[in-house]
Amino acid sequence: MPELNADDLAALGYSSLGAVNLWHKTGRHFTFSLDVALLMDLTSRSRTDPPPHDLEEIYRAAGVDMPQNAVELFLEARSAPEDIWNILLAATSTDSYKTIYDDSGKALTLQLRRSLGELSQDEIYFRDRTAGENTADHYQKLNISEAVSRVPDEVYYSFAIEIGGKQQILSQTIPADSVR
């Protein structure tokens, strides 16, 4: 991706399933899933999010009267700089890992801990991308550097744009050697 130079990115950390959080020097947030080589521009998604349909309900739940210009305030807030500390907090929240389910609806992380054991430093649970299902029996423990060496030959780049006030998710397939 011509606009992304690897020297301008810093890895903030990675999840137990091999999703690497990346910070671009321009203040953009990306995530890269090692098992499927999916690079997602999360900043583009947050900056093109439409106002929630239940905006009034959200204000009410917070115990605040909804201002007349609530939609305008929401749209304006989308362009605020990313807050790296909120990103780190969300990435390390135990709640985010409790809500990862396999294709059968079972808690995936718990199954992986039971079947493969706890992770050591620099290890992840890595899914065999050739397996059709996302179930615990298609994972193995790998050192993060070995997982990086198994990234597929093509990277799928996903980003969002806004067209006519609506968010549109686009993707590109890019040969991995042009990214490395």
Handedness of CA 11, 13, 17, 19 (dihedral sign): negative
Q: What pTM, to 2 d.p., does this model score? A: 0.82
Tens digits of residue pLDDT in 53-69: 899 999 999 999 999 99
CA 154 to chain centre: 18
Q: How far apart are CA 39 and CA 20, in angstroms?
A: 9
CB 139 within 8 A of CB 34: no
Summary mean pLDDT of the chain: 88
Q: How far apart are CA 171 and CA 160, in angstroms?
A: 8
The gap between the terminal CA atoms of the chain, to the nearest Å, is 10
Tens digits of residue pLDDT in 75-130: 898 888 888 888 887 777 665 666 788 999 999 999 999 999 999 999 999 998 88
Confidence of residue 180 (pLDDT cuts 50, 70, 90): very low
